[in-house]
Structure 1
């Protein structure tokens, strides 16, 4: 599977040029046979460095950078590789997903948990 379409790449690059904005995730990548989920918001001009929320299954998701090339080259059991969730549509900015993940210990997409995380962030302000 091609991890990034031209449209997604353009959106990620555009987000990467806009600093200090809490972007809504553009793409979700996942390991189809085990732990590993990435919500990606931005791409650097180098065309490889991605930024987002990563959950490698250790109970401590974190914000940071990863390499598109490394995700693309990952070889998993049964000849599989990292895949993109083609149905993923983010509804909140990355900070909300990060807060919900901090609370749950893993990336969550449930509306109720995300709304609660958004409320928590709002209360802190």
Structure 2
């Protein structure tokens, strides 16, 4: 099975996590966007612990309460459609994290969902 997140993006996420662990933490941009193919769940992830494949970022399960949290990449990769047996979670190849994570978090709290709307996100840029 092919990895959901390519190695080059995992390397960036691992580097971001190391910066945070070494007290050099900053407000990183999301590196990847994962989403459910048949649902509303979205994950914007910026950090990865390679030892246990746990990522950190903005998690939105489609319930109106997005939050910063941790998620297991291994678990997400293992979720399959019950009938079709295809992966349920995939990476958005076109996603580009343009803003610091705090901007996405602030916009998501107001919107009650993760948004990529530049007009909404720019309103929160000065707060980061």
Match of 2:98 in 1: 91
SS at match of 1:79: coil
1:80 pairs with one of 74, 83, 86: 86
For 2:7 and 2:27, locate their aligned partners in 1 and report how far apart those are by CA, in whole Å.
22
TM-score of the aligned structures, taking structure 1 as reference length: 0.91
SS at match of 1:86: coil
Following TM superposition, the consecutive aligned residue runs of length 4 or more in structure 1 with deviations greater than 6 angstroms are none
Ranges in structure 2 where 5+ consecutive residues have no aligned partner:
none
Pairwise mapping of residues 1-125 of structure 1 onto structure 2 (< 5 A)?
2-19=3-20, 20-77=25-82, 78-81=84-87, 82-119=89-126, 121=127
Structure with higher helix content: 1
Residues 31 and 83 of structure 1 are in contact (CA less than 8 Å); yes or no, is this contact kept in structure 2? yes
Ranges in structure 1 where 5+ consecutive residues have no aligned partner:
none
For 2:85 and 2:116, locate their aligned partners in 1 and report how far apart those are by CA, in whole Å.
28
1:42-91 deviation line (CA, Å, top 9, x unaligned): 00141501000000011000001000100100112532321000010010
For 1:69 and 1:55, locate their aligned partners in 2 and report how far apart those are by CA, in whole Å.
18
Aligned residues: 121
For 1:76 and 1:24, locate their aligned partners in 2 and report how far apart those are by CA, in whole Å.
30
TM-score of the aligned structures, taking structure 2 as reference length: 0.89
